[in-house]
A and B are shown apart, each in its own frame.
Chain A
Amino acid sequence: GENVEQHPSTLSVQEGDSAVIKCTYSDSASNYFPWYKQELGKGPQLIIDIRSNVGEKKDQRIAVTLNKTAKHFSLHITETQPEDSAVYFCAASRRDSSASKIIFGSGTRLSIRP
């Protein structure tokens, strides 16, 4: 079945440095790749997404890249700040498909050291 693998499971970076989280997916029909941030005690919230017809997307300090051939996509956070500390999830689905499920990676706990 469909699978999304995410690495690393934990990541600690110095405040101001960059953080990179990587995911791979198995379903070649997937065309929508969102990233979610989960703060303690809350449900995940979308922070950025990318569709399969785009290779890169940026929103201020966060960016996502997609390599369809390799079935890889990555989240990049630059100039990290304490409020970036959270659990991040990648996901994959067939956007605009009424019968598709959204499969999540196993999550990355990001800690920002002051």
Chain B
Amino acid sequence: NAGVTQTPKFQVLKTGQSMTLQCAQDMNHNSMYWYRQDPGMGLRLIYYSASEGTTDKGEVPNGYNVSRLNKREFSLRLESAAPSQTSVYFCASSVLSSEAFFGQGTRLTVV
């Protein structure tokens, strides 16, 4: 049972480049989330999806887009990367809004 799988684990982008972070869960969870983690800032919610076909903005959505492709997959896209988006990104899933299970994270550096 893999849980929550994120790809890639590491990525370096140049300013202005685009990329998509992939996330998949095999626990049949309805809710999925994308967080970013910066030193001293904790985990800040970027977007979340309560169910397949629905997405909502979190605390820091600017510069990001998401797609809930199906129940298993929730991707995060950076259309034009900026140095301020250098961070560690975590995907998580849960049954409704209870215990969240996290992936191992993607360490993104924008130069």
Residue ranges of A at the interface with B (Cβ–Cβ < 8 Å): 1, 6, 9, 32, 34, 36, 41-46, 49, 89, 91, 93-107
Contact = CB atoms under 8 A, between A and B. Distances in A.
B35 interface: yes
Interface in B27-43: 30-31, 33, 35, 40-43
12 contacts: A1-B59, A46-B99, A49-B98, A96-B96, A97-B97, A98-B97, A99-B50, A102-B33, A104-B43, A104-B44, A106-B41, A107-B42
- Residue of A1, A46, A94, A98 most packed against chain B (CB within 10 A): A98
Nearest to B42: A106
B56 interface: yes
Given A42-B104, A107-B42, 18 more contacts: A6-B42, A34-B98, A34-B99, A36-B100, A41-B104, A43-B90, A44-B102, A91-B100, A93-B98, A95-B97, A95-B98, A97-B97, A98-B50, A98-B97, A99-B50, A102-B92, A102-B97, A105-B42
Contacts of A1: 59
B41 to A, nearest CB: 6
B90 A99 contact: no
List 9 A-B pairs, minimum CB-CB distance, nearest first: A43-B102, A106-B42, A100-B97, A104-B43, A93-B97, A107-B42, A98-B50, A99-B50, A95-B98
Given A42-B104, A43-B102, A101-B33, A106 B97 contact: no
B21 to A, nearest CB: 14
Interface SS of A by simple majority: loop
Contacts of B17: none
A42 B104 CA distance: 5
Given A95-B96, A96-B96, A97-B96, A102 B30 contact: no
Contacts of B98: 32, 34, 49, 93, 95-96
A106 B40 contact: yes
A96 B97 contact: yes
B97 A94 contact: yes
Contact of B58 (A36, A45, A49, A101): A101
